[in-house]
Amino acid sequence: MNSVDPTTGDVFATYSETTADEAARHIAKAGQLQLEWARTPLSVRRDHMLRFADILESRRDELAELMAREMGKPIAQGRGEADKCAWVCRYYADEAETILADTHIESGRTKSYVSYRPIGVILSVMPWNFPLWQVIRFLAPALMAGNGAILKHASNVTGCALAIDEMIVEAGFPDGLFRTVVVPSSGVAAMISHPGIAAVTLTGSDAAGRAVASAAGHAIKKTVLELGGSDAAIILEDADLDLAVKACSTSRLLNGGQSCIAAKRFVVHREVADEFTAKLKEEFESYVVGNPLDEDAQIGPMARVDLRDELHEQVKRSVAAGAHIVTGGSVPDGPGAFYPPTVLTNVREGMAAYHEELFGPVASIIVVADEEEAIAVANSSEFGLGGSVFTRDIARGERIARDRIEAGSCFVNAFVASDPRLPFGGVKASGYGRELSHIGMTEFLNVKTVVIG
């Protein structure tokens, strides 16, 4: 497998694929080590996890450069990703004892309680857009809970995957308890069916989710799926537009717009639509697009040329159906997978920009007449990962966020972001199950009832 720099198009690293037999051996070894790891005192697991956090921080510059070269992430954002990974490691190191404590329940028996036990080796199938965070937000609670893990990462970030392998061993975890296997997507089903795999977690497209869920269902294995998103940001007539524009721009353009939880559809009340559009255009045009290794670059290339071209086709189809380009919308000359920050208006039902997930730096503005129409548009998507509401009336915003928006997360006067302390996941075609918080740890545990007569 080759690593291609999306800035230049040059191949800068080549990796050998893991054979099916090798993958099976890695799964078997992880299973053997997991049995002993499950009996390892929690204090020892904690020490290793805290050491892992320290290593992530000490290697943040190296890891950020690797992410920039493998998938185009601006180097400053890469450092932030490494730091966030250290945060989630420390969160679970500190909270695992409380999360895993037995829950005592009165039942009329001498004693009855719920015990939380590890289930074994978990297969993790992860995407390229946050090549450290997507893995470690799952891995930290899994290892602290006493599980083992096998990682099948996206092929274009193999260097990041192998770097996690190295750091896990350096932190003192048993060598092989966690292992990266360099296999194509076609090899995932065989690993799911392996008797040494207890469960599967996937972050990726809804198509990948359907395939994994089908294979895991056939094998009767637990899954957690975090799939695509087409999050709506509702901007009501009483919104603070400067705050809304800053938040919406950050959400849409962070990581080059390549984020499941990015605000992608801007559902704007008609009374403020013109002003919001003008301010958003100005903000988008202020972003610096450039080599992700440059400190001042805010947007690098997209991860691959084919992904850039697919996004541009979605824009062209939307324009052909009547959408208007306010800024951007053209493929720049020169090498690399660059695409400019783009704003589309006059987006209506039936257009690609209305229904499809645009996985890149493109904002779709949909104008609505009132609050009820805004909610209906926000909920009209097949996806339900996140959403946001901008209004000066906090009670109004909270009511809409809590009771009306069909999503796993909804933020008021802020863009959707993940936090180790808060559960994260979606509904509808955005998947099921939760990562992060205490819930993310218990997803892959045997919640065992124990009764003493």
Quote the distance between the C-alpha of residue 56 and its chain's center: 19
C-alpha–C-alpha distance, residues 439 and 58, integer Å: 29
**Cα distances (angstroms) measured from residue 294 to each of 69, 131, 288, 300, 303:** 12, 20, 10, 9, 17
Report the Cα–Cα distance between both ends of the chain, in Å, rounded. Answer: 58
C-alpha–C-alpha distance, residues 376 and 397, integer Å: 15
Which residue from 285, 279, 290, 341 is spatially nearest to 315, judged by alpha carbons? 341
Q: Residues with catalytic annotation? A: 226, 260
Contact 330, 30 (CB under 8 A): no
Domains defined along the chain, listed by start: 2-227+430-452 (3.40.605.10), 231-419 (3.40.309.10)
**Token pair for residue 51?**
């050491």
pTM: 0.97
Query: Is the four-CA dihedral 334, 339, 344, 350 of positive or negative sign?
Result: positive
Quote the distance between the C-alpha of residue 53 and its chain's center: 19
pLDDT tens string for the chain (453 positions)? Answer: 889 999 999 999 999 999 999 999 999 999 999 999 999 999 999 999 999 999 999 999 999 999 999 999 999 999 999 999 999 999 999 999 999 999 999 999 999 999 999 999 999 999 999 999 999 999 999 999 999 999 999 999 999 999 999 999 999 999 999 999 999 999 999 999 999 999 999 999 999 999 999 999 999 999 999 999 999 999 999 999 999 999 999 999 999 999 999 999 999 999 999 999 999 999 999 999 999 999 999 999 999 999 999 999 999 999 999 999 999 999 999 999 999 999 999 999 999 999 999 999 999 999 999 999 999 999 999 999 999 999 999 999 999 999 999 999 999 999 999 999 999 999 999 999 999 999 999 999 999 999 999
Q: In what order do the strands lie in the sheet with 409-412?
A: 324-327, 342-345, 362-368, 263-269, 231-235, 386-390, 409-412
pLDDT of amino acid 286: 98
User: Burial level of 138, CB count in 10 A (0-12/13-18/19+)?
Assistant: buried
